[in-house]
Amino acid sequence: MIPSQHPDSQLLLLDESLHQQLANLQEKFAAEGQNLSCYLEKLLYDKGVDYSDYLSIETLLTLQKPRTGFPDELVFILFHQISELYFRMILWELEQLTVPVEMLGEELFLDKINRLNRYYRQLIRSFDIMSDGLDVAQFQKFRTALFPGSGFQSLQYRVIEICSTDAFNLMPRKIRENIPEHLPLREIFEKLYWKKGALHVGSGRKSVTLTNFEMKYNALLLQKLKDYKHRNLWQMFRRFYEKSGNSEFIVQALRTFDQLANVGWPFAHYKVVLKALANDRPGGLESTGGTNWSKYLHPSSHAIIFFPQLWSVEERADWGLAH
Ligand code: HEM
């Protein structure tokens, strides 16, 4: 014990805690068969953390590569990249949400669904950067340099869907209502709403945007479907949290997530597309992905619902129509 009136008490206190820290470190490194003094020597020369190095800011700012000279193409690229970073944050939470209850617990489960909702709200709100900010005349020119690339090819968007619900719920409403629940996964995969929806307007054949995406990611996506068959967010809720003390709040948070991911975001996106591809022709301009976008993109079109059991028959029938 150090008496409080000791003139060097602060110093001694520091020494004592430093001593303890050193002992802890020595124990840690000894357990790993390593020498503490090498690490102390390393500290002498360590430069410390630099903001831009730590965050790779210089690299980040080299990742925008416009194809044309129109100034707003940079806005278009940056906003897509920002959205993909939010998708990354959403997937990061989804990965943690889909581990067994012993590893997470009820409160964190709820907390993380609320995080998903916060990220989606932010994405939806920020869509006015495109709807109000992007110069449509410039967009209609530089977009021709982007054929046949499309946001349709966002891998993270598809993985978010797969991690959230059973594959069956990712088929268009028309198919869901007319086939048995227990189809083999591979068959469901071929019937997912985006495979059935991304057909070329004129010929009805698969668009190049879709076939390119399939060639690149089919194997990975099918594997994800298998991996998450029993541990997607809905399955985790059913197995571990449905009967928990917090279940009422969890159900509310899941409903909000469903609404934001399958109505809020698609509708905010749809509004942007309507404005950006508007012209004198009914149905507007042909999209870079070649879909019948005015039908395909409306949230009521395929009525994707991650957690149909949490909605009434009427709510499901009216899905996306209030917008
Ligand atoms: C001016 C802005 C935008 C336009 C004109 C636009 C246009 C389109 C169109 C027409 C489609 C349907 C596929 C096609 O035919 O190409 C589509 C799909 C998609 N876009 Fe966009 N988009 C815009 C902004 C964004 C942004 C900022 C993101 C964020 C990453 C995004 C992500 C997606 C996704 C994920 C899909 C697939 C949706 C689904 O399959 O349900 N888009 N976009």
**Distance from Cα 149 to the centre of ligand 1, integer Å:** 10
**Distance from Cα 31 to the centre of ligand 1, integer Å:** 53
Look at residue 12 in the predicted model and tell me its pLDDT.
61
All domains of the chain, ordered by start, with CATH?
A: 69-317 (1.20.58)
3 state DSSP class of 206: strand
CA nearest neighbour of 237 among 115, 94, 119: 94
Q: How far, in Å, CA of 180 to CA of 93, rounded?
A: 32
- Closest C-alpha to ligand 1, atom 33: 151
**Distance from Cα 46 to the centre of ligand 1, integer Å:** 46
How much is the CA Rg of the chain, to the nearest whole Å?
26
**Rounded mean pLDDT, 118-122:** 98
Q: Is 79 in the pocket of ligand 1 (CB under 6 A)?
A: yes
- Closest C-alpha to ligand 1, atom 4: 273
CB 307 within 8 A of CB 165: yes
pLDDT tens, 63-109?
Answer: 999 999 999 999 999 999 999 999 999 999 999 999 988 889 999 99
pLDDT tens, 190-230?
Answer: 999 999 877 877 788 898 999 999 999 999 999 999 999 99
Look at residue 1 in the predicted model and tell me its pLDDT.
44
CB 268 within 8 A of CB 127: yes
User: Which residues lie across from 199 on neighbouring strands?
Assistant: 206
Pocket test for ligand 1, best of 76, 82, 273 (most atoms within 8 A of CB): 273
As a whole-number percent, the residues of the chain with pLDDT over 70 amount to: 96
* pLDDT at 2 > cutoff 60: no
User: Which residues lie across from 206 on neighbouring strands?
Assistant: 199
Q: How confident is the model at residue 13 (pLDDT cuts 50, 70, 90)?
A: low
Q: Is 273 in the pocket of ligand 1 (CB under 6 A)?
A: yes
3 state DSSP class of 199: strand
- Closest C-alpha to ligand 1, atom 37: 152
Question: Residue 49 carries which DSSP code?
Answer: -
Instruction: For the chain, give the mean pLDDT.
Output: 93
Residue type (1 letter), 284? G
